[in-house]
């Protein structure tokens, strides 16, 4: 260790290249020791972790010095009645927000007592949108027409780069001489961003060659990845899910301590009118809370919570109670690739029965998406109920206050 640190200090070995000199575990420890020395800050807790650095340092994190631990709570059981997920599930929720797990747990209890959440996957498409420069607006229009009539050719080009991804659609948008082609792919059990980026490169090369439009960037921001965008709310991205449940008047009164009319009014005035007044893209109570907690626990890219927040919650008065639903148009998620193979995250996916690749391919990711949809519904129900019953302040005072 001392000799290795001496080489780092002298510049003979770059900090990022330590794994080339020693095994990953030793490299992480040496890098952490160097940073402690440089900053005068000890990092014993960051250095205490259970995941193996062997794979993580190659695929998930550069310049690794340790790990930050996030508490994982469990909520459930949650009864899900989907086409891909059908059963009772315990939800692993990684969070530091007191009261969140308790709130989702109450929503799970409500849904389960009601017989379970109906959940349906309504779309499955990951997107990448390269931008091209045309020479004129006439040329831009020609490019649009060419793309629209040659999807089969573009799909063949994409297929040369992947066994699991498939190009299933392409929509175009023009702004002056800029031509955006929003490519849509199915990605099996993977979230698929790397897969579709590589495939999009092959597709873009064909478009450039055949139309004469110049490829400017492989991502033109119409994808739209990790940024709030109306296109994702309207067209969807990743997996698109709808979840709903009928709650009787008695159940609303017994579990949520409110009444159906109050639930409907809170949802209308807060989630719908309030969100519209704010110019929000999501019309929900706190969908991002539940998406984030599940994504962090299960090895998803936390930045995709941006898309996950584009949810719409509705409360429809019906005879004998209310029908509550949540629509999540953009859930970029997967059960293979990314952080899903890290030991702790793989265990959380295993808790849901969706770790690794499914049979047939895509089955696990679709089931996971339906579980996420039902979990968000549980979170929405609980918070709307707490607001309707004026219990929110009490819950946070009891469970969420710092000492």
Annotate 277-318 with DSSP letters as a single string. Answer: HHT-S-BSSSHHHHHHHHHHHTT--GGGHHHHT--EEEEEEE
Question: In DSSP terms, which residues pair with 312 in a beta bridge?
Answer: 283, 327
**97 is annotated as an active-site residue:** yes
- Is residue 391 part of the annotated active site? The answer reads no
Residue 208: is it exposed, middle or buried by C-beta count within 10 angstroms (0-12/13-18/19+)?
Answer: middle
Among candidate residues 142, 249, 301, 347, the one labeled active-site is 301
How many CA atoms lie within 13 Å of 397's alpha carbon, on the beta-carbon side? 5
Residue tagged active-site, from 21, 26, 36, 97: 97
> CA angle 375-398-275, nearest 5°?
50
Alpha-carbon span 172 to 164, nearest angstrom = 24
In sign, the C-alpha dihedral spanning 271, 273, 277, 282 is positive
CA distance 186 to 127: 9
What whole-number distance in Å separates Cα of residue 18 and Cα of residue 125?
39
CA-CA distance, 192 to 132, in Å (whole number)? Answer: 23
Could you tell me which residues come within 8 angstroms of residue 249 by beta carbon, excluding any fewer than 6 positions away? 259, 260, 320, 321
301 is catalytic: yes
* Residues annotated as catalytic (active site), given as ranges: 97, 301, 396
């Amino acid at each position: 260790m001392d000799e290795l640190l001496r080489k780092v200090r002298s510049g003979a070995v770059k900090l990022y290249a330590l794994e080339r000199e020693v095994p990953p575990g030793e490299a992480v420890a040496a890098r952490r020791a160097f940073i402690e020395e440089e900053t005068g800050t000890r990092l014993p807790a960051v250095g205490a972790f259970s995941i193996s650095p062997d794979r993580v340092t190659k695929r998930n994190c550069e310049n690794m010095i340790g790990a930050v631990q996030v508490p994982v709570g469990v909520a459930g059981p949650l009864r899900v009645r989907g086409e891909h997920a059908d059963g009772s599930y315990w939800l692993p929720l990684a969070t530091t927000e007191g009261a969140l797990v308790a709130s989702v747990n109450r929503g799970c209890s409500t849904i389960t007592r009601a017989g379970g959440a109906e959940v349906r996957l309504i779309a499955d498409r990951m997107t990448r949108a390269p931008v091209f420069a045309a020479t004129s607006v006439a040329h831009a229009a020609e490019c649009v027409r060419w793309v629209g009539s040659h999807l089969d050719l573009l799909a063949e080009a994409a297929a040369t780069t992947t066994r699991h991804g498939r190009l299933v659609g392409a929509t175009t948008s023009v702004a002056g001489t800029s031509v955006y082609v929003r490519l849509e792919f199915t990605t099996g059990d993977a979230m698929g961003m790397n897969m579709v980026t590589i495939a999009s490169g092959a597709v873009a090369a064909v478009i450039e060659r055949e139309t004469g439009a110049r490829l400017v960037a492989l991502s033109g921001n119409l994808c739209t990845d990790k940024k709030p965008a109306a296109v994702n709310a309207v067209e969807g991205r990743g997996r698109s899910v709808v979840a709903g449940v009928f709650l009787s008047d008695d159940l609303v009164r017994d579990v949520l301590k409110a009444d159906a009319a109050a639930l409907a009014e809170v949802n209308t005035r807060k989630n719908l009118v309030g969100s519209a007044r704010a110019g929000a893209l999501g019309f929900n109570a706190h969908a991002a809370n539940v998406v984030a907690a599940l994504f962090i626990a299960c090895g998803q890219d936390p930045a995709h919570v941006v898309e996950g927040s584009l949810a719409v919650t509705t409360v429809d008065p019906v005879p004998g109670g209310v029908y509550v639903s949540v629509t999540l148009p953009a859930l970029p998620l997967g059960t293979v690739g990314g952080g899903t193979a890290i030991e702790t995250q793989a265990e959380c996916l295993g808790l849901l029965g969706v770790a690794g690749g499914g049979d047939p391919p895509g089955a696990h990711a679709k089931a996971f998406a339906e579980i996420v949809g039902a979990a968000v519904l549980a979170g929405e129900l609980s918070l709307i109920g707490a607001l309707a019953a004026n219990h929110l302040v009490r819950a946070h005072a009891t469970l969420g206050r710092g000492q």
